[in-house]
Structure 1
Amino acid sequence: MAQLVNSKKILEFLELVGRLKHVKRTGWLLCDIDECESIAGHMYRMGIMTFLLTEENNPTKLDRLKCLQIALVHDLAECIVGDLTPHCGVTPDEKHRREDEAMKQIADLTGIAGDRMYELYQEYEKQSSPEAAFAKDLDRYDMIQQAFEYEKRENAPRKLQEFFSATEGKFKHPFIKELVKELNRQRDEFEKKSSLDGEAI
């Protein structure tokens, strides 16, 4: 009987997680981006990026598995509370309270596995480990990469500058800093090309 109850809770947990496949990220909706990414899509690319850590670009020997796990749970609470941004009229303290309660609810459904997810979520929120700091870099980087992809798709240079301004100077890991540098270079080139194409018309 205990196994049946346990399985019932796990199915409830998986259904909650499944919501993230369909919930669009609020920041893009507020910018009127059509067919924007889901929360799960954002976390997926963050997770994939942890595989890019190598001996050469990971001098501090970050634990790649832990980075991946943090990437996959850092926005998990949003399956219950939604993607709250500063534009939603919710204070940072209230946002944290809601998300913390949601994570406790999620953790309760999965026992020991949930305890681990909650622990990793707390680590990310408190930025209490090098892996949590790296995951924060991934979070910010994925956002500006996505912003640039939307600018290119809509042929709208600098349309989403607010996302770049919000992250400027906040990246810490050398590998991510290099990616940011290259992204900005490509973005500058895109703006120049768009300007030249506009003059030619």
Structure 2
Amino acid sequence: MAENVKNIIEFLRLVGQLKRVKRTGWVMCKVEQPESVSDHMYRMAVLAMLIPEGKGLRRDHCIKMAIVHDLAECIVGDIAPADGVSKEEKYRREKEAMNHLTSLVDPAVGSELCQLWEEYEEGSTEEAKFVKDLDKFEMILQAFEYETLEKRPLELQEFYNTTKGKFTHPTVQEWVGEVYRQRDGDMADKS
């Protein structure tokens, strides 16, 4: 029993690192107060709660997946494309981290965490595709906020460019359209 509690505390301390791991893209772009991986995962979970009823997605499943999708980053860090790590190597590192994390919790819980992570990585379900859309959407919403807060109009365009035309879910496409409308409006107001 004591060993189980010890492992849970280790798991929680590792996961707590996500509050201190800054998102690499924002650090590289010299954002003044870059969000943490935990911040990103939290807003993704909130976004998942906004799924309209009747859209064929399991809301609770999407919320859980949003919370789990970057869990491995508490060990491997936020690996960005600019880091020069191949997709295969990134996956290998994250899979190893997930195996360690899930070994610290109840086997049934660990299995669920691994399955959610794998499902997201593979994009194998409608929920995984939706959560991948949320991941990209949260990034451009955050870019819009940084541009606005730091008075850096259009300086984070690269984040929009990497997601352009890649959103598949109609609800997320609507949200993306609104971010673009507001961003365009802000830029027009400043000229």
1:93 lines up with 2:88 in the alignment: yes
| Contact 1:21 1:41 (8 Å CA) reproduced | yes
Q: How much does 1:160 deviate?
A: 0.4
Question: Runs of 5+ in structure 2 lacking a partner?
Answer: none
| Contact 1:155 1:194 (8 Å CA) reproduced | no
Listed as ranges, the matches of 1:9-48 within 5 Å are 9-48=7-46
What CA deviation, in whole Å up to 9, does each residue of 1:60-104 have, x standing for no partner? x20000000000000000000000001112111111110010001
Choose the corresponding residue for 2:120, options 111, 120, 124. 124
Quote the RMSD (CA, aligned, Å). Answer: 0.8
| Contact 1:73 1:117 (8 Å CA) reproduced | yes
Correspondence for 1:70 = 65
- State the distance in 1 between where 2:129 and 2:175 align: 16
What CA deviation, in whole Å up to 9, does each residue of 1:99-149 have, x standing for no partner? 010001111111221111011100000001111001001000000000000
1:173 lines up with 2:169 in the alignment: yes
Q: TM-score, normalised by structure 1?
A: 0.93
Q: TM-score, normalised by structure 2?
A: 0.97
- State the distance in 2 between where 1:115 and 1:175 align: 30
- State the distance in 1 between where 2:84 and 2:72 align: 18
Choose the corresponding residue for 1:8, options 6, 9, 17. 6
Correspondence for 2:102 = 107
- State the distance in 2 between where 1:13 and 1:72 align: 15
Identity %: 50
- State the distance in 2 between where 1:108 and 1:41 align: 25
- State the distance in 2 between where 1:167 and 1:183 align: 13
What CA deviation, in whole Å up to 9, does each residue of 1:7-66 have, x standing for no partner? 1111100000100011110000000001110000000000011111122xx43x200000
Correspondence for 1:198 = none
Q: Which contiguous aligned blocks of 4+ residues in structure 1 show a shift greater than 2 angstroms? A: none
Listed as ranges, the matches of 1:154-173 within 5 Å are 154-173=150-169
Correspondence for 1:150 = 146
Correspondence for 1:140 = 136
- State the distance in 2 between where 1:54 and 1:149 align: 24
- State the distance in 1 between where 2:151 and 2:10 align: 42
Question: Runs of 5+ in structure 1 lacking a partner?
Answer: 196-201
- State the distance in 2 between where 1:54 and 1:165 align: 27
| Contact 1:66 1:131 (8 Å CA) reproduced | yes
Larger Rg: 1
Listed as ranges, the matches of 1:75-86 within 5 Å are 75-86=70-81
Which letter does structure 2 place at the counterpart of 1:99?
A: E
- State the distance in 2 between where 1:154 and 1:17 align: 29
